[in-house]
């Protein structure tokens, strides 16, 4: 069973996908958001459909206190629009520290900060998805 992870950011959308057994998350790509949100949604929906996921796991940008903010509302609005284009359940998963964790992993792989810019969002999507997968696999 395959899953797709999303990191919806201010500038880019990161996409990750799990292996066919739903155990390992891998970054796929990220793309720069345009001013045409409907175009972004169509582009993302097309990519998602290629993977035929059982679920989409999207990062939920809550604050450190766990309180939803303006970013949370923007993500929920975007996902509401996306759900009209894909017939796949979309779940929110806590994304706190996902970008920081992705950046740490890329630094450990000796990737410069400049080089990270093009892959950080897909890597953050993989961190979000892997966190969700790990929680799912830990349950009896």
Helix then strand then coil, in percent of the chain rounded to 5, is 45, 25, 30
Give, for 60, the enclosing helix (H) or strand (E): strand 55-60
Residue whose tokens read 């679920």: 55
Query: Given this model, what pLDDT does residue 96 score?
Result: 74
- The number of beta carbons lying within 10 Å of the beta carbon of residue 37 is 13
Contact 56, 47 (CB under 8 A): no
Classify 2 as helix, strand or coil. coil
Conformation bin of residue 107: beta by default, left when phi > 0, alpha when psi is -120 to 50? alpha
In order of start, what are the domains of the chain with their CATH numbers? 3-138 (3.30.420.140)
Which residues touch 45 (CB under 8 Å, ≥6 apart)? 82, 85, 86
Q: List per-residue pLDDT tens for the chain, 140 residues long.
A: 999 999 998 899 999 999 999 999 999 999 999 999 999 999 999 999 999 999 999 998 877 777 777 788 889 999 999 999 999 999 999 887 777 777 788 778 877 777 767 678 888 999 999 999 998 866 55
């Amino acid at each position: 069973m395959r899953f797709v992870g999303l990191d919806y950011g201010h500038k880019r959308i990161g996409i990750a996908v799990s292996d066919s057994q739903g155990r390992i998350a891998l970054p796929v790509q990220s793309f720069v958001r345009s001013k045409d949100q409907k175009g972004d949604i169509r582009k993302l929906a097309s990519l998602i459909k290629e993977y035929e996921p059982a679920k989409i796991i999207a990062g939920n940008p809550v604050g450190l206190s766990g309180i939803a903010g303006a970013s949370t509302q923007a993500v929920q609005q975007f996902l509401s629009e996306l759900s009209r284009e894909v017939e796949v359940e979309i779940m929110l998963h806590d994304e706190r520290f996902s970008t920081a964790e992705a950046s740490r992993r890329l630094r450990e792989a000796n990737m410069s900060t400049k080089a990270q810019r093009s892959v950080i969002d897909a890597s953050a999507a993989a961190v979000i998805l892997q966190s969700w997968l790990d929680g799912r696999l830990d349950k009896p």
